[in-house]
Structure formats: structure tokens, C-alpha cells
Amino acid sequence: MKRILPNILSALLLSCLPWLPAQAQSVSPPPRQVEPPAESLIISHTLSEPETSSFSTDLYRERSNIKTMDLTSRSTDIWTRMRRGFGIPDLASPVVDKQLAALVARPQAVINILERGRKYLYHIVSELEKRGMPTELALLPLVESAYNPMAFSPAKAAGLWQFIPSTGKDFQLQQNWWVDERRDVVASTNAALQYLQAVYELQGDWHLALASYNWGENAVVRAVNSNRNAGKPTDFNNLSMPNETRQYVPKFQAIKMIVANPERYGIKLPNIPNDPYFVTVERSQGMDVAVAARLAEMPLSEFQSLNPAYNRPVIPGSHAADLVLPVENAHKFKENLAAHAGQPLVNWKTYTLPRAARIEDVARRLRLSPDVLRTANGLAARARLASGYTLLIPQDTDTALADRAPPVNIKPRQAQHNPPRALSKTEPRPVASASKPRRRS
């Protein structure tokens, strides 16, 4: 029996072998369905069916080349850091496709504009992260102003974020003869993010919030209510809106797609490190813009790109904003300012006209170039100034001869802006409007 039992067991096992593979196959789990990675799904749903199928196949084929990202490590460049904070759902539409095609057709233009944003991107991304906002919003100034803080639109919108005067006042951005904080890099960014937060809380949808930023939140609310009352969808793609807004949000989506995956579109993003480009430096007294640039040991044009808010060649002591300087220049500025003690920081003074005069006549009497007076005071060519009008003139100008000059028989016309106060007087901060913020009428 001891010899027969093993033989019987062996025979039974051999008889079971033919059906074991089939049985194993019948109980094995179905193959796992693999979704393409979310960051690769950056194509519009408007592709035809064959194109979509081919594109999906390419995504599966490329999946093995996609590297995982360590979210605990510090990003070495601003683009990696920005991508980690992307949080706005992708928008798909034929308009997005057209905007994307237009950008991809001009890769160098895209690169140049992003390079211009080098000075501002670290600050904007940091401010977005502080507020828990999607970091791709740092790309919005590309759509608004091409990262040009001196941009000025026909609608009188100014700065990186293109605030119109009324909305700038709503968010307490000073706008007077001396300064326009709509162009201030720090102040305007803070105001823009406050505005974006407000319209997102109102709309509950980032695409509608972006449309509100361009078109006005009240206009978007009316469009949403109109669709809702008509039983229509209330998402961005289904609203009736001006063509500018219809193109605005898709252009933002298109540039986001390029930054998300530049290799796919054959664009090499500029190498912008994940480090602060500038810091703020406290200032307790007025000074010339040119003097400030010299103390910081930087070209005037570079200084003005970081401090673009000043309308005049003087930074008034009454303006409380700090200077914005590159990290490596901030220490130089402090050292040079301390060494400059006892020397004048302001080389301009105010001069009140004793009688009405043309700007060319005033310049001749003061022995100055008319262009110097026009530029320093924001005056149009051939401006006619009323008696009592106050001008900003170089400090060493002798006004005695001009005061004794005989009057000129002209019909005075007040220049179309507010004259300056004396440099020593305090500029009152405008009170924010109690009305609802509005960017477009």
C-alpha cells in the first residue's frame, strides 16, 4: 500500500495537467485599464475621432517615458514650481486650438515674452501660493500686458495686470500726479490677486472668474443668469460674450498648455531659476529716480522696470511704497545711501507761474529745453498754462528772470491734469470706493 499510494497520486496529478492552464486562465483577473497621465491630456476635445485615437495611442506609447515628480523636493526652476500648483481645469474648445496654433507658430515671440516675465514670476507665484490660489494665474499678465509694467491700453488700463482707473481706485491703488500704483509691481499684483479671489468666490468657476476679470463680473453674472433662465448650460463655452473675452480665456489656456508641456510644442522655455529676482527696500525720504538708480548701481531702465509707478523724475517722500531692487543691488543701495548722507537726493523743485504762458515761453525764460519741461511735467506739446500753475523744474534753475519777464497776451488753457503740490507736502491716500469693483463696463 505504501508503494501504490504514491503511484495513484502521481497518476491523478498527471491527469489534471491538461485542464490546469485553462482553469487558471478562467479565474485570472481582467487586465487593468490604464489611464493616460493627467498632465499629458492637454489636447482639445475638438479633434476628429481618428486624430483623437492616434493621439491617445501616442500617449500610451509615451507613458513609459514619463518621469515621476518628487513633490517634497524644492524646484530648481520657476516652471517646475509653477506646474506643481496648477489647479484650474483645462478648457477645451476650437478657440483654444486656434490660440494654441497661433502661439506655437511664433515660438520665439512666446519665449521673448516669458523672458520678460523673469523679473516678476517668482514674486507672483509666491503670492499665489500664500493665498492658496492656482499658480498658473502667474501667466495671466502675459495675456494682459506681455509682462510689460508700462503697458497702457486704449481703455486706459495700465500696468502688468491692466487695471482701469476706476477698478484701481476700488483696490486702493494710488493714482495722482506723482505716482500711478497700477504700474507698481508689488501693489498691483496684490490688488489683482484680491480681485481674482473675489470674482472666483462670486462665480465659483475659474473660467468664469477669468472672464469676469476681462469683461466685468456683473456682465458675466448677467450672461450666466440669461443662460440659466433659458435652460442652457452656464459654463464659459456656452455663454454669449464679447469677442475679446471669447479669445481671452482660451489664450490663457493655450499658454498654460505650452508651459505644462513645452517639449510637445517644440518650445524651449527660458531658464528662470526658482529664486527671488528682487527684494523691497525701505525708503523714508524723497529722491530723484536717477539718484536712486545710481545709488543702487543699476541702469536707469532696469530700475524703472522694477519701479515703474512714478510719473515724474522724483520719488516723493510722501509716497510710502518701498523701492524694488534686484537682490544683489539692495545691499549696494543701502551702503551708498549711508555714504551719501548730507548730499542732496532731490535735484528738482516746484515753480509756480506768476502769469499765464505757453510752455515754450516758460522754457525760454527759464533757459531750459521745452522737452525737459514737457517730460518732467507730463505736458503736451504747445501746452498753455494758467496763472498759478505749478511746474517741476531742475533745482539749479534761476527763476528770477522768468518772474520779471513781461506778460504774453495769450488766452490761457489749463493743462489736462492736476498740478503738483510742493514736494514737502503729504499726498493723501485715496479712499477706496464703496461701489462694486468693475473692470469693464
* Higher pLDDT, residue 69 or 193: 193
Domain boundaries, the chain: 72-265, 279-339, 348-404
Residue 72 pLDDT level (bands cut at 50, 70, 90): low
Residue 178 has pLDDT above 80, yes or no: yes
Lowest mean pLDDT among 36-50, 127-141, 407-421: 36-50
CB within 8 Å of 173: residues ≥ 6 apart: 163, 180, 181, 182, 184, 187, 188, 191
Lowest mean pLDDT among 120-129, 264-273, 309-318: 309-318
What does the pLDDT average to over 42-48? 33
Find the radius of gyration of the CA atoms of the chain. Answer: 32
Catalytic (active site) residue 335: no
Residue 24 has pLDDT above 50, yes or no: no
Say which of 127, 136, 144, 217 is annotated catalytic.
144
CA–CA distance from 339 to each of 295, 333, 343, 344, 375 (Å)?
10, 10, 9, 12, 30
CA–CA distance from 243 to each of 232, 240, 437 (Å)?
20, 9, 22
In angstroms, the CA 254 to CA 103 distance is 8
Lowest mean pLDDT among 34-43, 288-297, 369-378: 34-43
CA–CA distance from 127 to each of 190, 341, 420 (Å)?
8, 35, 34
- Dihedral over Cα of 234, 235, 238, 240: its sign: positive
Residue 20 has pLDDT above 60, yes or no: no
Tell me what percent of the residues of the chain surpass a pLDDT of 70: 74
Residue 416 has pLDDT above 70, yes or no: no
Residue 347 has pLDDT above 90, yes or no: yes
Residue from 233, 122, 143, 132 nearest 186 by CA? 122
Highest mean pLDDT: which range of 69-73, 247-251, 416-420 = 247-251
**Burial of residue 324, with CB atoms counted within 10 A of its CB: 0-12 exposed, 13-18 middle, 19 or more buried:** buried
Q: Domain 348-404 is in which class?
A: alpha beta
Pick 72-265's CATH classification: 1.10.530, 2.30.29, 3.90.1200, 1.10.8: 1.10.530
Residue 342 pLDDT level (bands cut at 50, 70, 90): confident
What does the pLDDT average to over 22-51? 38
In angstroms, the CA 105 to CA 258 distance is 12
Report the chain's mean pLDDT, rounded to a whole number. 82
